[in-house]
């Protein structure tokens, strides 16, 4: 019974995700869905991109959190369009919430829409938001066991960011075991090492994002 | 409709939690439910207690994870009774899973049962596991905004552990803002500062656990 209900919810989500995706196609928007545990640095990764700009690519942001507009306020400082979705305690974003948020964004002025999901390694994974690519973020303080414990995220990620590498000298994190774990689940998926505070790897992260903009998808820029 | 279903699931969980609680009463077991984001150090906090012992209190552990038996293997090294619950991708423990796990534990040889929930700041909060006390864990690398974004956990916690304080010199974490955030949600809830790697505050954590064992609840120890 419970499984049935969950499958109906997922089916409804997938149906609405198709409309969202069609809207992205109509407006020639590339959409990225960022998933991580709470506090892994998703907002800082978006800020690191906004600080240096993206070769003329115009960015919009949707922030997801159970409560508060703190992350949207951080992003708004960079004067890009941003919408905060509060899930009122809910553990993940759904395509319905994204569809509603699109009404509040100037879609014809956005080339790249970055969605920051609710901090959670489990629930967001099953919910297609209409995105083109999915980014999994893990910080080195969380331990190298995360791909083994949360394989579904790493199966579906287009790229994995290992964040906060400036803290590697101070934490017991085995980079090789982490890398092997990720590649055992999805061989060949790129893994970027990044530190937003020190700047390591930010240019690789920016390059990857620019590479997501397929020719013809960048409007008037 | 979805809300209805969720309420039915929560009601069923609460009903089974009552049986679990009755079982704990029968065997004079005190139960602790530990909740945090993935990688905040719940397993290390349990290990820190097992390393030094607990004044004759006999400990049992239930480990919850979406996949793998890694945490149970870490705990088993200390030769205490431990059961791993794998949720097969599920995002939280439910009382039904705990009830099943109790069958695999020597209940008459346990004074304190520590349940490590699935790493997740949202979903575990709504599910009573029959515990006597709830421990919320946040590590300093996750940012001081966690109580504001995830208030429901901090409303229901009997104690908050701020973990990995050895990393404070290397991360932008505002201890005062965190403390004010927690106490705005639940005035007076104790907040312990702990570093399992360096040993800070472990004795306070142990003292708090010992204090949970009400007189008469410690058997033959």
User: What confidence tier does A3 reach under pLDDT thresholds 50, 70, 90?
Assistant: low
What pLDDT was estimated at residue A215?
A: 64
The CATH number linked to B49 is: 3.40.50.300
Whether residue A155 lies within 8 A of chain B, CB to CB, comes out as: no
Please state the domain count of chain B: 1
* Residue B217 maps to a domain: no
pLDDT digits (tens, 9 = 90+) for A26-60: 999 999 999 999 999 999 999 999 998 888 899 99
* Residue A21 maps to a domain: yes
Region B121-150 average pLDDT: 97
User: What confidence tier does B3 reach under pLDDT thresholds 50, 70, 90?
Assistant: low
Region B186-196 average pLDDT: 98
Cβ–Cβ < 8 Å for B112, B145: no
Nearest Cα residue in chain B from A10: B2
For residue A157, pLDDT beyond 90: yes
Q: Provide φ and ψ at A115, rounded to 5°.
A: -105, 120
- Which ranges in A63-201 belong to alpha helices (H)? 70-76, 95-102, 146-149, 151-156, 175-185
* Residue B220 maps to a domain: no
Q: What is the spatial distance between Cα A26 and Cα A35, in angstroms, rounded to a whole number? A: 25
Contact flag A122-B123 (C-beta cutoff 8 Å):
yes
Closest Cα in chain B, distance from residue A142 (Å): 4
pTM > 0.90: yes or no? yes
Decide: helix, strand or coil at residue B57. coil
Q: What helix, strand, coil percent values describe chain B, rounded to 5?
A: 45, 20, 40
* Residue B167 maps to a domain: yes
Region A185-192 average pLDDT: 98
Closest Cα in chain B, distance from residue A205 (Å): 21
* Residue B153 maps to a domain: yes
For residue A220, pLDDT beyond 50: no
Domain span at residue B137 reads 2-212
Residue numbers in A near B167 (CB within 8 A): 141, 167, 170-171
Region B111-124 average pLDDT: 97
User: In this predicted complex, what is the ipTM?
Assistant: 0.91
* Residue B219 maps to a domain: no
* Residue B112 maps to a domain: yes
pLDDT digits (tens, 9 = 90+) for B11-59: 999 999 999 999 999 999 999 999 999 999 999 999 999 998 888 899 9
* Residue B127 maps to a domain: yes
User: What confidence tier does B221 reach under pLDDT thresholds 50, 70, 90?
Assistant: very low
% of chain A at pLDDT higher than 70: 95
Q: Nearest-CA neighbor of B48 among B209, B219, B170?
A: B209
């Amino acid at each position: 019974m419970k499984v049935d209900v969950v499958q109906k919810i997922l089916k409804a989500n997938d149906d609405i995700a198709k409309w969202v995706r069609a809207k992205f196609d109509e407006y020639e928007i590339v959409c990225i869905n960022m998933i991580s545990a709470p506090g892994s640095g998703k907002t800082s990764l978006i800020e690191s991109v906004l600080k240096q700009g993206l070769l003329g690519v115009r960015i919009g942001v949707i922030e997801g959190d159970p409560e508060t507009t703190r992350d949207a306020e951080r992003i708004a400082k960079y004067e890009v369009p941003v919408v905060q979705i509060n899930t009122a305690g809910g553990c993940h974003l759904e395509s319905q919430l994204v569809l509603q948020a699109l009404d509040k964004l100037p879609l014809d002025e956005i080339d790249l829409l970055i969605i920051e999901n609710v901090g959670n390694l489990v629930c967001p994974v099953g919910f297609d938001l209409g995105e083109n690519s999915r980014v999994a973020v893990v910080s080195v303080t969380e331990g190298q066991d995360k791909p083994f414990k949360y394989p579904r995220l790493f199966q579906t990620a287009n790229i994995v960011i290992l964040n906060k590498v400036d803290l590697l000298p101070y934490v017991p994190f085995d980079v090789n075991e982490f890398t092997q774990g990720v590649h055992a689940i999805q061989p060949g998926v790129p893994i970027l090492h990044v530190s937003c505070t020190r700047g390591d790897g930010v240019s690789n992260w920016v390059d990857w994002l620019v590479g997501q903009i397929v020719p013809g998808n960048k409007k008037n820029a």
